[in-house]
Amino acid sequence: MTSEITKNIEDIKRRVEKAAIKSGRKFEDIKIIAVTKTIDSERINEVLDENILDLGENRVQEICRKYDEIKRPCNWHMIGHLQTNKVKYIINKVAMIHSLDSFELAQELQKRAKRAGISMDVLVEVNVSGEISKYGIAPKDVLDFIKKASVFPNIKIKGLMTIAPNAQNTEDIRMVFKEIYKIFLDIRKENINNIDINYISAGMSNDFEVAIEEGANIVRVGTSIFGKRN
């Protein structure tokens, strides 16, 4: 019998493909990250069975615990706000950090990555909507921030991340995704040394199709895979 998670993933893949085609791309151009916040290892393994190998977590302690529990090949992504004093716990565990939002955090990532002898892929979090409740660099400051952070040899800025406001109608937030794509293009034009900007991480369960239509190539999907969390 097909599990609920399998059915959900099949549906998400169809929707991702449709949105990708609408934006002139293919399904393979979009990375789906399964957001595993509060989800147990058994259900995470079901996702891995469906060949979704990128897993996103908001909290450092959940990454550390699940990193040890899941004994299969997968890529962990830190997608939540990251405090500088927690960097040391995940620097060797994650494939990418989506939430670089301050110069202090960039300094700490550089220090820890250098000490570990690795290069850390990061995305700069941009607060496109300007909501006070959200972290991220203001759109007008992103270019200067990236130029400043480009001096760190052990962190590689690979793109941008944003979180759109909650909206009943996704058309109301389409501008957020248009804006992050515009910022992305503007930064690419600059050809900044040590910056290889290829990714836009934007769009979650309620709005990933609009995000893809407007240029996102990483989507972070939890509820649409696992159902409502407790």
Which SS3 state, helix, strand or coil, does residue 100 take?
strand
Contact 190, 204 (CB under 8 A): no
Nearest to 161 by CA among 115, 135, 126: 126
Q: Which range among 60-64, 145-149, 183-187, 189-193 shows the weakest confidence by mean pLDDT?
A: 189-193
- H helix or E strand, kind and range, residue 47: helix 41-49
For all residues of the chain together, what is the average pLDDT? 96
Interval 173-188 mean pLDDT: 97
Question: Over the stretch 6-20, which tens digit does the pLDDT of each residue have?
Answer: 999 999 999 999 999
Question: Over the stretch 57-81, which tens digit does the pLDDT of each residue have?
Answer: 999 999 999 999 998 999 999 999 9
pLDDT of residue 200: 98
Phi, psi of 152 (to 5 degrees): -85, 115
- Half-sphere exposure of 115 toward its Cβ, with a 13 Å CA cutoff? 11
Question: Over the stretch 20-44, which tens digit does the pLDDT of each residue have?
Answer: 999 999 999 999 999 999 999 999 9
- Half-sphere exposure of 52 toward its Cβ, with a 13 Å CA cutoff? 29
Query: Is the pLDDT reported for residue 53 higher than 90?
Result: yes
- Half-sphere exposure of 28 toward its Cβ, with a 13 Å CA cutoff? 0
How many Cβ atoms from other residues are within 10 Å of residue 60's Cβ? Answer: 20
CA angle centred on 91, ends 72 and 112, rounded to 5°: 155
pLDDT of residue 43: 95
d(CA 36, CA 179): 28
Contacts of 159 (CB under 8 A, 6+ apart): 123, 124, 184, 197, 198, 199, 200, 201, 218
pLDDT band at 1 (very low <50, low <70, confident <90, very high): low
Question: Over the stretch 100-148, which tens digit does the pLDDT of each residue have?
Answer: 999 999 999 999 999 999 999 999 999 999 888 899 999 999 999 999 9
Q: Could you identify the residue written with the tokens 């959200």?
A: 134
76-84 long-range contacts, CB within 8 A, separation 24+: 77/33, 77/220, 79/33, 79/35, 79/161, 79/201, 79/220, 81/135, 84/108
DSSP 58: S
Phi, psi of 20 (to 5 degrees): -65, -45
Q: Which residues pair with 159 in a beta bridge?
A: 123, 199
pTM of the model: 0.95
